[in-house]
Amino acid sequence: MGREVAESCIDGVIIEMVSAYCKRFYATKPELAARRIEAIGYQVGHQLIERYTVERPRFSDHLEAIKFICKDFWSELFKKQIDNLKTNHRGTFVLQDNRFRWLTRVSIDPSLDISEASQDSSVVTPENKAAEATSMHLYFPCGIIRGALSNLGIPCAVSADISNLPACSFVVRVKA
């Protein structure tokens, strides 16, 4: 029997990690915070995929590995499979999770004054602030996916798209 941790503990650790990197360690440099959060996710994904594939034969192609990520790996992490997988058969895959669990608990700071933001276009709006805060939380799972695929011998770039919360699409572009 494998070791398990309560989901709420994992959620809390991830929220605190993102908060620490964005507000304390790299408060003035969000791009560095994003890079560091993604790097931590990469290490986690790299190690987890090794644990979950130790008794499996190597994957024959990229699609087979991506399907494993969508079904088995995602099920281990989130207790559900990816809802939809699309590909253009030229190295781009879109993994759609219609209810990404780590986005269901994200909220923004209500102390932002909406009236101030609407008068000056250079001020960050609450919508932009929410999108930025949410995107910071997505660097970690992007890193997990990239690390897992890298360990499977698939170098790639992973980005996330959040157009309809809590739905999330992860776009995987395999490097040639």
Residue 106 vs residues 44, 94, 131, 133, 165: alpha-carbon distances, Å: 21, 23, 10, 8, 10
pLDDT of residue 116: 36
So what's the architecture of 7-107+127-174 in CATH?
Answer: 2-Layer Sandwich (3.30)
Q: Is the pTM of this model over 0.85?
A: no
Residue 18 vs residues 3, 24, 64, 155: alpha-carbon distances, Å: 24, 10, 32, 25
Residue 117 has pLDDT above 90, yes or no: no
Q: What mean pLDDT comes out for the span 159-163?
A: 90
Which of 70, 68, 38 lies closest to 52, judged by CA? 68
Q: How confident is the model at residue 109 (pLDDT cuts 50, 70, 90)?
A: low
Better pLDDT: 25 or 134: 25
pLDDT by residue (tens digit) across 66-77?
999 999 999 999
Q: What mean pLDDT comes out for the span 144-155?
A: 96
The mean-pLDDT minimum among 47-61, 104-118, 136-150 falls in 104-118
pLDDT by residue (tens digit) across 4-20?
667 777 777 878 888 88
